[in-house]
Amino acid sequence: MKKIILVLCAILLVLFVVWLVVRFINISDATENSSDYKASYRDEKIVIYDIDDLENQAKEIIPAGGFDYIRGGAETESTMRRNELAFDMVDIYPRVLTGVNQPNTKTSILGINISLPVIVAPAAAHGLAHISAEAGSARGAAAAGTIMSVSTYASSTLEEIAQAGNGAPQWFQLYLSKDDVANRDLIMLAESLGYQAIILTVDAPIGGNRISDARNNFKFPLALPNVPKKSGKTKGQGIGAIFAAAQNELSPYDVMYVKSLTDLPVIVKGIQHPDDAEIAIMAGADAIWVSNHGGRQLDGAPAAFEVLGDIAKRVNNRVPIIFDSGVRRGQHIFKAIAMGADVVAIGRPVIYGLALGGWRGVVSVLDYLKTDLERVMWLAGTQNIDDIKNTELRQRCNLCSDK
């Protein structure tokens, strides 16, 4: 009898230990997004005199590791710097006596009407900047009348972001998983929530050499809840490990594969060569996104603006072109559209605005860019976006050929 009691006690003890372990795991999962990481909680409009000021202002309130992750580029950051400097390769002719009055910045992309030719680029982990994370950015984009692009590596769920947008247009950016079921489920979820396009990012089979992250030993302090569970927990992982869990062997068949999973338009993001634009279109891309990932992947690559014109010539209006990397001013927006883009996307300035003022800060950034673009359009004698597309830019003589 004593032996039976001892055996029962041992079994009960084992069951109790198992219960404690399960309980601990459940608590850990439930608090995955809790952290000592202190993101901003500001909620206010921000005054912008110069958009370049936002970076230093945001540095004061975003914890150092998170700020360096947001700001940083690959290796020596030469390509990241070139992204902005490249806009100085061409000039805008001032035009007068054109009768322009109150320029109109409204346009459309893939059938979606927007208030300005600027959308929010997909970027990971807005929660590093503000407690509202991508939900805050989505609310700001909606209030400004433009499109919110949502990364697979967002720190809000797709449901939370869609709810914050309250019916405003949103696109879902997909990093392909090695798990086909997870890919299908993510796309189906995005469709069910009302996302209006799938952005397939193809320029990140591995992560770039981001030296500042390595020096900081940066690990995500927050979970990225949309990453397939088979990829493992994202909290406490660096971006390199997260990229490694994604599909790293990409081909035209992956574009076809994503097309087979959805009736939504599929945008291929990360195009930096005319031949790759052709390949993507032949594989079924509904739009091309010219980008070098904000200078965060291959350092030593050309600035995105430097390759835009050649890519636009090859595309030849067969599909729309979205452009990002280095856009900070109205003149940048103008030049990109004149060079062949239909709309541009911005990443870091939106996140800085989010840190400084929450969703109202995002609206402030987009309103600043709209006003700045209107000013440039007026001085360049262009009434609307079509006029910009028909504008000839002046190449700087120090870059002219000797022919």
Q: Which residues pair with 246 in a beta bridge?
A: 177
Which ranges of 297-400 does DSSP label H, i.e. alpha helix?
304-315, 330-338, 348-379, 385-389
Q: What is the gyration radius of the CA atoms in the chain, in angstroms? A: 23
DSSP H helices in 120-251: 133-144, 158-165, 180-192, 211-216, 239-244
What residues pair up with 127 in beta bridges, in sequence order?
A: none
Give the tokens for residue 158: 């797709």
Q: How far apart are CA 6 and CA 65, in angstroms?
A: 53
Residue 218 in contact with residue 242, Cβ under 8 Å? no
- CA distances (Å), 401 to each of 11, 274, 311, in order? 84, 21, 20
Q: What are 240's two structure tokens?
A: 């390199």
- Under DSSP, the state recorded for 267 is E
Active site residue 293: yes
Is the Cβ–Cβ distance between 185 and 237 less than 8 Å? no
Cβ partners under 8 Å of residue 219, min gap 6: 235, 236, 237, 238
Residue 383 CA to residue 375 CA, distance in Å, equals 11
Catalytic residue among 126, 130, 293, 332: 293
Q: Which residues are catalytic?
A: 293
